[in-house]
């Protein structure tokens, strides 16, 4: 069927009978990583679905254009950690890309808590996604009248405990963090190809994480984590303007450093400053706080997680287990 409407494609020429096999199992037949939750329930727009039935349209601009936003949130010991801050960042991302989240913060909080309860977990990870919604094949978001809200709850094990005891190796990659004037890294968007490209480079170099620089050659962040260094008892991290996400875990480190009476300085620095640092660590909701002991083949400090990093990690673990929004009462 030919049509002048560019959004309607030719019908596929299927020879012979269109069997169930050719139509039905497009998603189910592929191997799928699971949430790790037995009989997981996934929230999509107010309803719960099994993993196999949790699907969105191929016309959702979240899929077609990476047009949407997300948050990764942790809950520990029956409490959601820093929920308010995550929702604040989600709403900021939405405002920046002119996306109207189709519910209030109170409704979103209730949906998140209820999704955790439905999955019967006390510790885990939440992936909260708001897509632009279904439109046509053109990229204009005005076509998308109904953004979709997806909440996935999963068990999590990002880095083995060994990494926290021994530290990670990072490598500087050629892929630069996207320039804030083109796609601002402060927006936690569904468009992560910049980070994915960097991650591929780290994989090819057999490193644990990729260190991404900005266009000026200063350190921006890693593919899913903020970067900190410690020198002469002071903590340094790149400013958000260097092309870093305003990490929630990053802000927890500011709080912990305040408690310890250690100064945190937001300043531009280069990879040289990492090479000569006394200590280095990364922060992220999934990674938590993880020491870095090697950068581009150079040993950092004495090649072991440093004393300040170790103290910060201990305090962070205490906070995650004692604070947060209660899920079950």
Return the residue matching tokens 């880095």: 159
Query: Are 186 and 245 in contact, with CB atoms under 8 Å apart?
Result: yes
Asked whether position 220 contacts ligand PMP by CB under 6 A, the answer is: no
Asked whether position 288 contacts ligand PMP by CB under 6 A, the answer is: no
DSSP class of 242: G
* Shortest Cβ 35–ligand PMP spacing (Å): 18
Which of 155, 286, 319, 325 forms a contact with ligand PMP (CB under 6 A)? Answer: 286
Using the minimum distance from each CB to ligand PMP, give the nearer residue, 134 or 274: 274
Return the residue matching tokens 């592929």: 30
Which of 225, 280, 289, 305 forms a contact with ligand PMP (CB under 6 A)? Answer: 225
Which of 195, 214, 237, 309 forms a contact with ligand PMP (CB under 6 A)? Answer: 195
Asked whether position 284 contacts ligand PMP by CB under 6 A, the answer is: yes
Interacting residues of 231 by C-beta distance below 8 A, sequence separation 6+: 273, 276, 277, 278
Which of 283, 289, 290, 306 forms a contact with ligand PMP (CB under 6 A)? Answer: 283
Using the minimum distance from each CB to ligand PMP, give the nearer residue, 55 or 95: 95
Using the minimum distance from each CB to ligand PMP, give the nearer residue, 134 or 153: 153
Using the minimum distance from each CB to ligand PMP, give the nearer residue, 126 or 144: 126
> CA angle 142-244-186, nearest 5°?
20
59-118 positions binding ligand PMP, by CB under 6 A? 72
Distance in angstroms (rounded) separating the CA atoms of residues 143 and 67: 12
What are the tokens at 59?
A: 């016309």
Distance in angstroms (rounded) separating the CA atoms of residues 98 and 182: 16
Using the minimum distance from each CB to ligand PMP, give the nearer residue, 112 or 134: 112
- Report helix angle 248-259 to 307-322, nearest 10: 110
Using the minimum distance from each CB to ligand PMP, give the nearer residue, 40 or 222: 222
* Shortest Cβ 265–ligand PMP spacing (Å): 18
Following DSSP, what letter does each residue of 145-199 receive, concatenated?
A: ---EEEEEEE----S-HHHHHH-EEEEE-SSPPPPTTTS-TTS-BS--HHHHHHH
Asked whether position 226 contacts ligand PMP by CB under 6 A, the answer is: yes
Which own/partner contact pairs does 298-304 have at CB distance under 8 Å and 24+ positions apart? 300/274, 300/275, 301/277, 303/167, 304/166, 304/167
What are the tokens at 175?
A: 């892929």
145 is catalytic: no
Which of 124, 250, 253, 312 forms a contact with ligand PMP (CB under 6 A)? Answer: 250
* Shortest Cβ 283–ligand PMP spacing (Å): 5
Write out the residues near ligand PMP by the rule CB under 6 A.
72, 195, 221, 224-226, 245, 247-250, 283-286
Residues annotated catalytic, as ranges: 188
């Amino acid at each position: 069927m030919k049509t002048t409407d560019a959004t309607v494609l030719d019908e596929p020429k299927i020879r012979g009978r269109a069997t169930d096999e050719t139509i039905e199992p497009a998603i189910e037949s592929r191997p799928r990583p699971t949430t790790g939750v037995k009989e997981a329930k996934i929230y999509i727009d107010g309803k719960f679905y099994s993993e196999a039935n949790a699907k969105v349209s191929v016309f959702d601009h979240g899929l077609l254009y990476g047009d949407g936003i997300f948050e990764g949130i942790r809950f520990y010991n029956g409490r959601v950690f820093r929920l308010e801050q995550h929702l604040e960042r989600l709403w900021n991302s939405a405002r920046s890309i002119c996306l109207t989240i189709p519910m209030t913060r109170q409704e979103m909080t209730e949906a998140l808590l209820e999704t955790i309860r439905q999955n019967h977990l006390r510790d885990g990870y939440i992936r909260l996604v708001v897509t632009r919604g279904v439109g046509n094949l053109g990229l204009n978001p005005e076509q998308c009248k109904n953004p979709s809200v997806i909440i996935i709850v999963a068990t999590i094990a990002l880095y083995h405990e060994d990494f926290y005891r021994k530290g990670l190796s990072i490598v500087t990659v050629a892929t630069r963090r996207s320039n804030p004037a083109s796609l601002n890294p402060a927006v936690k968007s569904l468009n992560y190809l910049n980070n994915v490209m960097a991650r591929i480079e780290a994989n090819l170099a057999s490193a644990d994480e990729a260190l991404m620089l900005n266009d000026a050659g200063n350190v921006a962040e890693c593919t899913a984590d903020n970067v900190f260094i410690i020198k002469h008892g002071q903590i340094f991290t790149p400013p958000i303007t260097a092309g870093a996400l305003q990490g929630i875990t990053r802000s927890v480190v500011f709080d912990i450093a305040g408690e310890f009476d250690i100064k945190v300085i937001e300043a531009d620095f280069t990879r040289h400053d990492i090479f000569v640092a006394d200590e280095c660590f990364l922060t992220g909701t999934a990674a938590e706080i993880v020491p870095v002991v090697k950068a581009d083949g150079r040993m950092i400090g004495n090649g072991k997680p440093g004393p300040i990093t170790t103290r910060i990690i201990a305090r962070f673990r205490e906070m995650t287990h004692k604070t947060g929004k209660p899920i079950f009462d």
